[in-house]
Structure 1
Amino acid sequence: MVECYGDSAELADELLHEVMHGTKRATSSLANEYAHYGENEPKAGDHWVVCDGSGEPRIIQRVASVQRSSFFDVPANFAAAQGEGDLSLEYWRRVHREYWTRTQGEIGRDWSPEQTTLPGEELLLERDEICWPPEFADSRGE
């Protein structure tokens, strides 16, 4: 899989920087988006090429784990592992509510956190490791 983080070049660059130079080792997505786009959900052991905002490949990550969760059951330590903002669960909830409301609206769907309690609508909480390039690879590696 070849992907960028976020839904804009600016956000892709910002989040990639947090992966490469910060503490971002997790990401979250909506299960229904994979079905909508006809893509496979991520699973442990998958690799993905992460591109910058201009579409240039920058790193390769390996999916360490994936858990299903509702919006309301995301653990604080997972929110912190996403490496964004002040690392708090409150920040995570605010920006992800805004993000999924916007991105689901773009595909013609209304979205609310309550939907994530329904089968097929859950969040996918993914923990990742950098595999390449070596200077950014996580010490725990593959």
Structure 2
Amino acid sequence: MDKIESYWNQFKKEHEIQASSYEAYSFGLGVEVEDELASLVQKGIKTATTSTFDLYEEGEHVPQAGDYNVILDGSGNPVCVTKTLLTEVVPFNQIMAEHAYHEGEGDRSYQYWHDVHVDFFSREYAEAGLVFTENVPCLCEVFEVVK
């Protein structure tokens, strides 16, 4: 059994959770950023995230309220479990400063969040052979740390 599955099974046992499914992932790209963002989640500072809705592939799980997630650091080690509380599809240019603040990154300002996400999403879209615009639909997710 791998370390992620073991971590998940221990969590289920400790919290008497019957759920059998979970997603395991890290935030960001690159070990340093992934470590930093995992730490922010673990500390309860980062309680939200945003992904580009159009880039979910057919059949890929789209986050929804009630989901459990094993958050990984940059080395693929589990650091905590979160539970998704809310998801909402919103055009990028209509995401509120409050959501940006809850993402917990940088100085937590809307401008910081905006600049980082334009850069990140532009690269994601380019890799998919598409062009990012500020009206693309985004999945805004709010979660809480449960372990």
Query: Pick from 8, 13, 38: which aligns with 2:35?
Result: 13
1:126 and 2:147 matched: no
The secondary structure found in structure 1 opposite 2:56 is helix
Equivalent residue number for residue 69 of structure 2: 48
TM-score norm. by structure 1 comes to 0.82
Cα displacement (A) at 1:33: 2.1
Structure 2 spans left out of the alignment, 5+ residues: 1-22
Structure 1 spans left out of the alignment, 5+ residues: 117-121, 133-142
Q: 1:106 and 1:22 mapped to 2: Cα distance?
A: 31
Q: 1:72 and 1:105 mapped to 2: Cα distance?
A: 19
Equivalent residue number for residue 87 of structure 1: 108
How many percent of aligned residue pairs carry the same amino acid? 34
Cα displacement (A) at 1:130: 0.6
1:28 and 2:50 matched: yes
The secondary structure found in structure 2 opposite 1:72 is helix
Residue range with higher mean Cα deviation, 92-101 or 1-10: 1-10
Contact 2:53–2:138 (Cα < 8 Å) also in 1: yes
* Paired letter, 1:126: E
Q: 2:55 and 2:75 mapped to 1: Cα distance?
A: 22
Equivalent residue number for residue 97 of structure 1: 118
1:61 and 2:82 matched: yes
TM-score norm. by structure 2 comes to 0.79
Cα displacement (A) at 1:108: 2.5
Describe the superposition over 1:48-100 as per-residue Cα deviations: whole angstroms up to 9, x where unpaired. Answer: 11111011111111001001111111111111000011111111111100011
Contact 2:31–2:75 (Cα < 8 Å) also in 1: yes
The CA RMSD measured in Å over matched residues stands at 1.4
Cα displacement (A) at 1:21: 2.6
Describe the superposition over 1:103-123 as per-residue Cα deviations: whole angstroms up to 9, x where unpaired. Answer: 222232221213x1xxxxx10
Cα displacement (A) at 1:15: 0.6
Contact 2:44–2:145 (Cα < 8 Å) also in 1: no
* Paired letter, 1:20: Q
Q: 1:53 and 1:109 mapped to 2: Cα distance?
A: 27
